[in-house]
Amino acid sequence: MTVSGSYRLLIGDAVFLMWPFHDAGPAPAIVDAIKWHAGRVVFLSSGAVQEGVAPERQAHPVGRSHARVEQLIERSGLVWTHLHPSTFAANTLWWAGQIRAGDVVRGGYGAVPMALLHEADIAAVAVRALTEDGHGHTAYALTGPEILTQAEQVRTIGEVLGRPLRWQELSREEARQRLLADDSFPDSFADPLLDGYAAMLDAPPPATTSTVEAVTGTPARTYRAWVSDHAADFS
Ligand SMILES: NC(=O)c1ccc[n+]([C@@H]2O[C@H](COP(=O)([O-])OP(=O)(O)OC[C@H]3O[C@@H](n4cnc5c(N)ncnc54)[C@H](OP(=O)(O)O)[C@@H]3O)[C@@H](O)[C@H]2O)c1
């Protein structure tokens, strides 16, 4: 079945729900529709969600909207699995244009450490949760297997491509203007992204989890493996 409007949902016994919006908006109607047509929902939420913290008290706007959707799902009576992924490795495709144009990647907060996650690992965990029993009423914290700063990520891309790529640090305002000028990047996400990076710099470095391996039986893929899989996107 298709839910009308711009929110497209394909509904079966188990539903994979993604909420790529910065507010919960019509989520109550969507969760209600799922409830009447399926028994299980796997929600691609966010590692920004602080567990045990009410939606309105979440520190980050992404955490607020996702926590609200989680709350609706948990109150719905559905069997639920929330996926709490760390930063997607695919975000580094934002640099593809700069890397095609030269050897320097310019951006803000190059020292921010991240446990980048391969999309194939998110998908592998989601498939398990959608198709097997034993994943209900669980939030899975998913990360990649290593911590790399943004500057180290650029170096890794260079090593895989065989190019001397390097990071050049911009001030926050310079980084903001660069994001706003980038037609492929949503303007509304520039400040939340940079606020998130600033908070990550001040916070303890992220920890890695072994959840991908625990759920799928295979260790999470490295960032180097992700770059190899996507080398053509940077060339
Ligand atoms: N990126 C990260 O590092 C990260 C980390 C943790 C959690 N998350 C969460 O994971 C989710 C996806 O993140 P993302 O970075 O991949 O977001 P994104 O780049 O904004 O991707 C949005 C995706 O949603 C689709 N979409 C947009 N509006 C839609 C609609 N009305 N109906 C159906 N599909 C629609 C888009 O499809 P089209 O391409 O067809 O427009 C696009 O594929 C978000 O909830 C985000 O908060 C992201």
- The average confidence (pLDDT) of the chain is 93
| 8 A C-beta contact, residue 225 and residue 118 | yes
For 197-211, how does the pLDDT look when each residue is reduced to its tens digit (9 = 90+)?
998 999 998 999 999
With a 6 Å cutoff on the Cβ, whether 18 touches ligand 1 is yes
* Interatomic CA distance for residues 145 and 218, integer angstroms: 11
Cβ of 65 closer than 6 Å to ligand 1, yes or no, is no
pLDDT at 12: 61
Task: Identify the residue with better confidence: 73 or 7.
Answer: 73
Comparing 1 with 76, the larger pLDDT belongs to 76
Per-residue confidence (pLDDT) for residue 62, from 0 to 100: 87
Token digits for 39?
């028994």
Position 126 pLDDT exceeds 80? yes
Q: How far apart are CA 86 and CA 141, in angstroms?
A: 8
The alpha carbon of 74 is separated from its chain's Cα centroid by a whole number of angstroms, namely 21
β 14-18/113-114 pair status: unpaired
How many CB atoms are closer than 10 A to CB 136? 12
CB neighbour list of residue 92: distance below 8 Å, 6 or more residues apart: 116, 153, 157
Q: Is 141 in the pocket of ligand 1 (CB under 6 A)?
A: no
Measured from the CB, is residue 5 less than 6 Å from ligand 1?
A: no
- What is the pLDDT at residue 3? 46
**Which tens digits make up the pLDDT trace of 50-93?**
999 999 999 888 899 999 999 999 999 999 999 999 999 999 99
Distance between Cα 217 and ligand 1 center (Å) = 27
Tell me what pLDDT residue 22 has: 83
- Alpha-carbon span 150 to 164, nearest angstrom: 15
State which of 88, 91, 194 you would mutate to test the pocket of ligand 1, scoring each by most atoms of that ligand within 8 A of its C-beta.
88
For 139, the enclosing helix (H) or strand (E) is strand 138-142
Mean pLDDT of 25-54: 95
The SS3 of residue 41 is strand
Q: How far apart are CA 38 and CA 178, in angstroms?
A: 43
Q: What local confidence, expressed as pLDDT, does residue 2 receive?
A: 44
